[in-house]
Amino acid sequence: MKIVMLGAPGAGKGTQAKMIADKYQIPHISTGDIFRANIKDGTELGKEAKSYMDKGQLVPDELTVKILLDRVAKDDCKNGYVLDGFPRTIPQAEVLEEALNNLQDKIDYAVNVEVPDENIVRRMGGRRACLSCGATYHIEHIPPKTEGICDRCEKELVLRDDDKPETVQKRLDVYHEQTQPLIDFYNKRGVLKEVDGTVDMKEVFAAIVNILG
């Protein structure tokens, strides 16, 4: 079972990917993690990726897919895997598809966690963080005992720049421009499955399990 997770930043696809990986005993693979692992281990692919990153350049899609294929060739992926954060664009999806075709392989499911922009802006705008001890809260879902004060260390809680509505909306605009077309791409291949990401996390997961069987 080879799965691609789709969804806007803040839609909760990473959380769902981890839950899928746990239930089906398959690896949760994020490109960030495998880049870091290859760079840390000093592999040839890692050195090549690092040469781009050191210059502040994006790692080319072909190299990203090479690193990804190297990861999914490992024994723990024989029953499948969940890809989280890749592909992000149509060219990446095409390079991945071609590489898998060459191995007589393909993506079985592209699961899109659907959440409207306004929900995401509200969800992320409600986050609060303690810069002192690293604790995180949400003013609606996990509020601190005293408003604006960390339960653990009693320091002030802040709204991170990343979670400010204008920043979140910019990230969503980039997502709609670059990643939204992937929904059509996987729909044409007959593997797209959509779930309502506005409901409780457990309900979202139940809907995904219902699809995957």
pLDDT the model gives residue 31: 86
- In the chain, the DSSP E strands lie at 2-7, 28-30, 81-84, 109-114, 127-130, 136-138, 157-158, 192-196
List, for residues 89-122, the tens digit of each pLDDT value: 999 999 999 999 998 999 999 999 999 999 999 9
pLDDT at 23 over 90: yes
Q: Are 6 and 84 in contact (CB under 8 A)?
A: no
List, for residues 126-180, the tens digit of each pLDDT value: 999 999 999 999 998 899 999 999 999 999 999 999 899 999 999 999 899 988 8
Residue with tokens 């960390």: 150
Phi/psi region, residue 135 (left: phi>0; alpha: psi -120 to 50; beta: rest), is beta
pLDDT at 125 over 90: yes
**What letter does residue 57 receive in the DSSP assignment?**
P
List, for residues 3-17, the tens digit of each pLDDT value: 999 999 889 999 999
pLDDT at 32 over 90: no
pLDDT band at 48 (very low <50, low <70, confident <90, very high): very high
DSSP assignment of 36-54: HHHHHHT-HHHHHHHHHHH
Calpha distance 42→9 (Å, rounded): 30
143 upstream amide cis, omega within 30 of 0: no
Amino acid at 130: C
Cite the active site residues. Answer: 13, 88, 127, 160, 171
Q: What is the mean pLDDT of residues 16-43?
A: 94
For the domain spanning 2-115+178-212, the CATH number is 3.40.50.300
pLDDT at 187 over 90: yes
pLDDT the model gives residue 57: 86
List, for residues 50-84, the tens digit of each pLDDT value: 999 899 888 899 999 999 999 999 999 999 999 99
